[in-house]
């Protein structure tokens, strides 16, 4: 059954905005400020990151148009490269998803830590304790059944909506802004490196647009509506992110940004006092739990698809008939998240691991556009979306991501084991593929 276009321009615009705006904007500006060292690089990174994101979203939209039955990255890689390479990259992206969940959970723990733990645990250890406890509680809830998980998700998402509404109220108290903190960190690196490292957190915050790959065949009048919807959606995101960052900057100053991980709560505390700080912290923690919960529920589905292809063992697609829970798959994902938390205990360090994998994975995925254009030349006469300014648009995206990858790799020199861990993850994925393929081949022969 072929995909029929059903989504209009407004639908795709809302999808793009929803895919991009997550929890990162409530924490990553602190990391950007620390790497930037000054307001020009700080705001420049957010603007440049938005433009690169636009190029990436348009690129993945054409990939989705030319190969609409992929359902994601796995088969695009397989079609354009090799199944082994496809599995290796997607395996690492699955691990990266676990790291991303751990990173976002650390954000929430930073917000809630002052209210839960004594002074002796107001440190990285305290953050790790809260994070691990939160993940385990959600794991137990999800284990009880998909219905229970859905009810908890509905409750937690209201916290995120409440937080957004609360921050909007800050506009009406703009006259209460105090003098901003002006103390800044001096540059520890040259400006080019500072800019590159600033983009690590920026690209994490702009992430999600790559899922437009799944909607290329669903858009009515794709040639016209896709570029307009994506351009409008990303423009809205850029505007909102710049507005929020300007508010942070005006309230806290670049120095305040550098020293404040719990940005949203700190800003609300400045505007509305201790009560505003506490309410915002609780709401944001609820929003973080919503993100963690939905990922604990959704990511095992990726393992299910890989197990269906015979690459992962059959146990990964085993589902409890009563609760509809992938008990082993979910346990594996939670275990991966907890293992990562034992090795990395700060959001900034976690971010580098996540983005190292993502920048490689997404840039290599974007390269498939050149192969797809040759393999699907017959589609050019149909109503599919094709990028204007080709090949400049995808090249801007790919080169920008490689620039960030190189800068992350440079920072890994301070910790050589970090680079080895990343490379070992790729090697492990390759080994799992060939082991699974060999077993699958053996079972086919016996049948």
Phi, psi dihedral angles at 127 (to 5 degrees): -60, -40
Specify burial of residue 134 (Cβ count, 10 A radius: 0-12, 13-18, 19+).
buried
421 contacts 93 by C-beta, under 8 angstroms: no
243 contacts 231 by C-beta, under 8 angstroms: no
Distance, in Å, from the CA atom of 393 to the CA atom of 176, rounded to the nearest integer, reads 43
pLDDT of residue 122: 79
pLDDT of residue 136: 87
Q: Where are the domains of the chain?
A: 9-441
Residues written for the chain: 447
Which of 179, 76, 110 has the alpha carbon at shortest distance from 347? 110
Distance, in Å, from the CA atom of 250 to the CA atom of 255, rounded to the nearest integer, reads 11
pLDDT of residue 169: 61
**Token pair in block for residue 205:** 């915050």
317 contacts 304 by C-beta, under 8 angstroms: yes
Domain 9-441 has CATH 1.20.1740.10: yes
pLDDT of residue 179: 44
Specify burial of residue 304 (Cβ count, 10 A radius: 0-12, 13-18, 19+).
middle
The pTM of the full predicted model, rounded to 2 decimals, is 0.76
pLDDT along the chain (447 residues), means of 10: 66 77 78 86 92 90 73 73 83 79 81 81 82 85 64 60 61 49 52 85 85 67 79 86 82 76 72 76 76 74 71 78 76 86 72 83 91 84 79 94 86 69 83 75 58
The CA-CA-CA angle for residues 365, 371, 372, to 5°, reads 85
pLDDT of residue 196: 85
254 contacts 33 by C-beta, under 8 angstroms: yes
pLDDT of residue 152: 60
pLDDT of residue 409: 80
Which of 291, 243, 242, 284 has the alpha carbon at shortest distance from 263? 284
> HEC states along the chain?
CCCCCCECHHHHHHHHHHHHCCCHHHCHHHHHHHHHCCHHHHHHHHHHHHHHHHHHHHHHHHHHHHCCCCCCHHHHHHHHCCHHHHHHHHHHHHHHHHHHHHHHHHHHHHHHHHHHCCHHHCCHHHHHHHHHHHHHHHHHHHHCCHHHHHHHHHHHHHHHHHHHHHHHHHHHHHHHCCCCCCCCCCCCCCHHHHHHHHHHHHHHHCCCHHHHHHHCCCECCHHHHHHHHHHHHHHHHHHHHHHHHHHHHHHHHHHHHHCCCCHHHHHHHHHHHHHHHHHHHHHHHHHHHHHHHHHHHHCHHHHHHHHHCCCCCHHHHCCCCCCCCCHHHHHHHHHHHHHHHHHCCCHHHHHHHHHHHHHHHHHHHHHHHHHHHHHCHHHHHCCCCCCCCCCHHHHHHHHHHHHHHHHHHHHHHHCHHHHHHHHHHHHHHHHHHHHHHHHHHHHHHHC
């Amino acid at each position: 059954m072929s995909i029929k276009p059903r989504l209009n321009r407004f639908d795709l615009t809302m999808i793009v905005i929803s895919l991009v705006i997550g929890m990162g904007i409530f924490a990553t500006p602190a990391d950007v400020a620390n790497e930037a060292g000054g307001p020009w690089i700080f705001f420049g990174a957010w603007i440049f990151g938005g433009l690169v994101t636009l190029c990436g979203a348009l690129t993945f939209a054409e990939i989705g148009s030319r190969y609409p039955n992929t359902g994601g990255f796995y088969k695009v890689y397989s079609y354009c490269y090799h199944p082994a390479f496809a599995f290796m990259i997607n395996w690492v992206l699955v691990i990266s998803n676990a790291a991303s969940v751990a990173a976002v959970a650390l954000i929430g723990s930073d917000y809630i830590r002052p209210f839960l733990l004594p002074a002796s645990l107001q440190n990285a250890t305290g953050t790790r304790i809260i994070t691990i406890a939160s993940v385990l509680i959600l794991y137990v809830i999800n284990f009880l059944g998909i219905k229970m998980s859905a009810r908890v998700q509905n409750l937690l998402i209201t916290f995120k909506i409440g937080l957004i509404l609360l921050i909007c109220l800050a506009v009406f108290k703009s006259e209460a802004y105090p003098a901003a903190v002006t103390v800044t960190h001096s540059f520890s690196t040259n400006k080019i490196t500072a800019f590159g490292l600033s983009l690590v957190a920026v690209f994490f915050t702009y992430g999600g647009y790559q899922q437009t790959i799944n909607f290329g065949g669903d858009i009515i009048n794709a040639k016209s509506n896709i570029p307009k919807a994506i351009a409008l959606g990303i423009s809205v995101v850029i505007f909102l992110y710049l507005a929020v960052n300007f508010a942070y900057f005006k309230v806290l100053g670049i120095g305040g940004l550098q020293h404040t991980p719990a940005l949203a709560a700190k800003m609300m505390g400045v505007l509305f006092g201790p009560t505003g700080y506490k309410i915002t912290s609780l709401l944001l923690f609820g929003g973080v739990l919503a993100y963690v919960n939905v990922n604990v529920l959704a990511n095992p589905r990726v393992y299910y698809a890989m197990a269906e292809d015979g690459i992962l063992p059959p146990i990964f697609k085993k589902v409890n008939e009563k609760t509809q829970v992938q008990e082993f798959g979910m346990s594996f994902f939670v275990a991966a998240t907890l293992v990562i938390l034992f090795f990395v205990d700060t959001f900034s360090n976690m971010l580098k691991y996540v983005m190292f994998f993502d920048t490689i994975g997404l840039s290599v995925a974007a390269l498939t556009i050149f192969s797809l254009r040759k393999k699907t030349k017959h589609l050019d006469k149909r109503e599919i979306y094709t990028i204007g300014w080709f090949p400049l648009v995808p090249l801007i995206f790919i080169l920008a991501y490689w620039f960030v990858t190189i800068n992350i790799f440079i920072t890994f020199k301070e910790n050589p084991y970090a680079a080895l861990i990343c490379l070992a993850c790729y090697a492990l994925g390759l080994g799992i593929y060939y082991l699974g393929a060999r077993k699958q081949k053996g079972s086919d022969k016996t049948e």
